[in-house]
Structure 1
Amino acid sequence: MSAEHWAEGVDQLLAEIGPVTGASRVWVFQLMEVQSNAVVQDYVFEWAPSEHYRQLNQNRFRFFSSTLEDPVYRRLVEERQAGVSHDFCIPLMPQGPLRSDLENQAIQSTATVPLFFNGHWWGTLGIDDCERPVSWRGPGLDLLEAVGQLIAAALYRDQLNHRSRQIELFHTLANCGVWEISLCNGRLWCSQSLKTLLGYPEAYSRVSLRRMLARLHPEDRAELWARLRALWRIAESTQFRLDGRLRLANRSWIWHELIGEIQCNEVGQPVVVAGLVLDISRRKQDEEQALAASQLDALTGALNRRGMAQHLETIGPATAPRHLILLDIDHFKQVNDTHGHLVGDTLLRMMVERLRHELRPGDGLVRLGGEEFAVLTSGMQDDQALALAERLRRCIADEPFVVQMSEDEPPLKVMMSVSLGVAGQGDEASQATNQLMAQADQALYAAKHAGRNCVLFYHEAIESRAVSLDSE
């Protein structure tokens, strides 16, 4: 059958054997249900040389029920269930309900072949002659049985194609692919959706395991081998999951989840590793966004303390020397008491924007809490860090902040200043972050006691404290 859909192929088959046999009708009944006292069938295919012989469109043959009270018909059904073909010349049949029913259809002779699918009686292929009381035994019945086998094979192929389409549709909708590795010979099988994802043409016969593993990021590939070796050692565990980066057809690295299971033979030896590849790029993006949000101050958008720790890990000791600048807004409580906390919050956001304009992309701006902030820098000398702190002081103190809280009210101009303390980590990068923070805090404390709105380096703060002690 060359038709694209199996039903079209069945129609073609019936149309070919009808004229060859000279029959009045060739038909197919599909079995719906075998009940204790009846058989329910549906008339699903038919070929007839003229409308005179057609019965497919008659309502009495739509999901019709045939009683099993007639012992002749009951035996006929039992034999069909057993795979027996039949040939009837109606005038030679004994009187009874079955003969009467066939005569009512003006049938002179008929032959039937049961159709089997998945080991069960699926339906019946039949041929009727309304003009000749002939026997179909021999070539006629042999032809009908051959056609029955073709129809059954078409049903199997359609089922396989249907399941294949369902699987590929699932793979497409779920953004996943299926893979299987034979541990006996190392051969890899992967679904069409996975091959397409990796950029292989549809007709590509086989993707090698070596090429597939080369698509996995080296770090994730090492982790995969570690997981598999661990499974080999722990016999009771056979499944694993791994988030890994796959290089796709467009050469980009995309996050996927590898879900695998080791399958063993009857004696417990691993023979196959099989599983799924799921696109989790959106999930990873959400996780990264959630992580980034957890490291930011909700009010100002500056880093919070968690973000500060992550920033320190990012710049690392290899980029030493690095500096920490602590800054505190002078008399900010008075601003809140005078203008309200809504204005105070707006001023904090505006101040962060000003500070950012003075910083490099790799510098870290942190809100430690309240009106206290920190700036983390790397790759600067002490004089450069001091110059940066002075620019930060001026960008706050030199120009008023203009706050427009309502269209009905005139804009509010607020002058602010900050005090800053600077501490530096030398080239040896041996200072702990806590020590650097303590030194910057001492410098900030000294700057506030020196009159505020100024910058002091830690060493200057120590000298200033020493002078103060001497004077006492």
Structure 2
Amino acid sequence: MRTQDTQDDPPVPPPAGERKDRRSVFQALPPLAWALLVLVAGLLLTAELARRDLRDSRQRADMLYNSLADAAQVRLDDALDTAAVALRAMQTVLLSAGDLDQTTYAHYHDNLRAVDDLPGYLATAFARRHAVTAADGTPLYRYELLAPLEGNEMLLWLDITTQPDNLAALERARDADRPSMSAPFQLTQFRDAGDAGLGITLRLPVYSRGRAPETVDARRARETGVLAMSLRLEPLVRTALQGRILEYMHVALRDTGAADNGHVFASGPLPVEAGAPAYTRMLEFGDPRWELRMQPLQAPADGDRSQSIILLGTLISVLAALLLWSIAGTHRRALALGQRMSARVSESEARFRTLNELLPALVLLADADGTITYANQFARRRLGDVVGTRLDALYSDPGPRMAVADASGREAGWEEREMEITTGKGSFWARVSLAPVVVDGQPHMLLTATDISEQRELNARLRYQASHDALTELCNRREFERQLALALAGRRAHPETPPFALLYFDVDQFKLVNDLSGHRAGDQMLVEMVLAIGQNLREGDLFARLGGDEFGLLAYGVNETEALALAERLRRCIDSVRFVWQGRTHSVSASIGVVMSDRAGATLQDVMAWADSACYQAKENGRNRVHLYREDDDSTRRHSEMEWASRMRSAIEQGRLLLDYQEVVPLTTAAADGPHIELLLRLRDENGAVVLPGAFMPAAERYGLMPTVDRWVIGTVLGNFARLHPAGAQLQTCAINLSGASIDDEDLAAFILDCIARHKVPAQRVCFEITETVAVRSLLRVTRVIERLRTAGCRIALDDFGSGMSSFGYLKNLPVDVIKIDGSFIREVDTDPMSRTIVSAIVQIGHQRGLKVVAEWVDNDGARGVLDELGVDYGQGFALHEPERVMFQR
């Protein structure tokens, strides 16, 4: 059976001669020969590029080293010129002041300050020329004035004529009236320093007052003495050349006039290969000539880029050759395949039918009247024998029926429609496409369909899970707030519609049930309470679990009196529930806040906040009661929190804060390395009763008491570390929770490290827990605190992991050691596949990062077994250990 579009003519093949010419160009050489040609061309081009790059890199390196050599020469000239200027300044002082004593000379020297920043400077001395001559008739030059004097006293009255090199420099300076530099010599002050103790002396003549002498004879006749400046060579040269010169170059100075090799200075050993290029410059200051020889400290990395070019070029050439080889081979195979296919045109119908028979989708062919003429194997198995029946009879929707019945052209087709197909074997949903085709010159309709029943069922299940609570099967907070927003919008659009009420439920003392009997008991109690409430709900009202022990009810079409009556009836219903768990009976009650929808301009956030305030007021009035929201409820709540804040301050001052510990138990088969605990805060009230943190922590957070509380906990725990647990000093890890307010305290890390050092507690045994929400809110500040504590050895745990919206996204940015999976995932890990999948993913990611993984709220042995199977390292919960008072507070 051959098919083609009704409006397209079959392509006309080109003449045989033209096809042969086209093929001959590409088929003249075999594919391997084309590939080798491309490879050779690519390698030649790569070699040329590498050669040029190597040449350019060497030229750049040579330019750099030449510029450094020029800079070194200029800097050394500048350093010597600076010393000469300072010496010339002292000459001017002596010419203008005449005879000076040592004190005045030192005073002038200090005031000039010309040598304060001169590296290697030692002293400036004046040697007076005496008429008394030496045995050979040479005038005597003795140092009479010296500054600074301290440390250089040995120079006083030293006769320069005893030092031939210095005397020669003196005479050169005198005859030329310009600074003269001596040959390098070993300084007496640094006789044990080797080459680092070499120094030079700059000399400048001092003449009698009058016009500057212009001839050599006049200068010799008017000479009264000579100024000398001693400089230590090593710091002078290193300071002048510091920076890129010494970083990149080995520098050596040599006195060309010395009898030996004239070695003056070397910046260090020369770690370069033999034959490395040398850059030489000459320094002249007076008569001495120094050779400045510079060599690169390391051979220029001129081959790295060239090697990269060679590797990359070779890779590209090989890939291009392989690609061409593949294309040429594919082209040849395609031509051969086309020839084979053209030879089997007569078999196309059988092949088409065979292909359709094997497709895992429904394929139906109908004639222009809509009668089915062909059904593939999959269609026959799902629909039965449908050949001969009308195509549109399969649909429940009349739209497609009309389209098929009335159309024979292209306009009858459509794509990707979801519709229900009905057969004698039942019905199912499918994604259906319908297209007009021509078979044997006659118009037909081709239908293809894919069964999507399971996909639709899965989507419906996901939509249900996204809008419902897994424990109680009630709507969740997201769906409840969506419905509440719709109701508020309807009231704003149509104020005449009947009002509705929002009832906000909060179970009284629910945390006490969790603490006494575990979270599984609390969950079961909520389920029984919801079942009891469900029997007393009105039809059409929306009841939802908002989170934890909080519930909400949208009561439509009620006034204030009816809403309060409904709330009271539900309160009595809840109060009648008696929950029994493991022989222990718990009474159940709830505080209910009521908000009416008759307030103009109320938003979703306003109504939820008012309901929360009304519920809070109901709890403050004694619990187990109904309260209608009034405008002064918010101030009453703030007053109650202020009262708790005052009681908290008193408890801190009177030492009534308590600490319980709960063990964190290893779940894997590895042997335990010692007890690990987390500390839990409690408060003893004025009557001696123990108050759980849920009652006082909100007030402490609102009124800024958490930093004080955290510091009390940290100081108390570290001061009594060996008396927290019966294991004593063998306690392996103690976890302390840090609040968001404490993280914002810039001095917190310093306080913690000071306590650790003062009480000599091993830092690696202290773990600080930071909740995920706090970490996300102040990521940069938290990271700084964490890094400082981890550097000291402390461990960091990320608490309630998974409760945020982007846990995995920022986990890579937090330097933590432990992640604690939020208890909402652990609670149903043994019964809910989704929770199990999430926990497994967290464990894998945590272990991949090298982190320990802790599961919270482990309340039964079944959950413990699943967590052990998933590879969770530690567990924490009532099934493993119930909280106990720390040892030193018992």
TM-score scaled to structure 1, two decimals?
Answer: 0.46
- If asked which structure has higher relative contact order (CA below 8 Å, sep 6+), I would say 1
Question: Larger Rg: 1 or 2?
Answer: 2
TM-score (norm 2): 0.26
Q: Would you tell me which structure has more helix in proportion to its own residues? A: 2
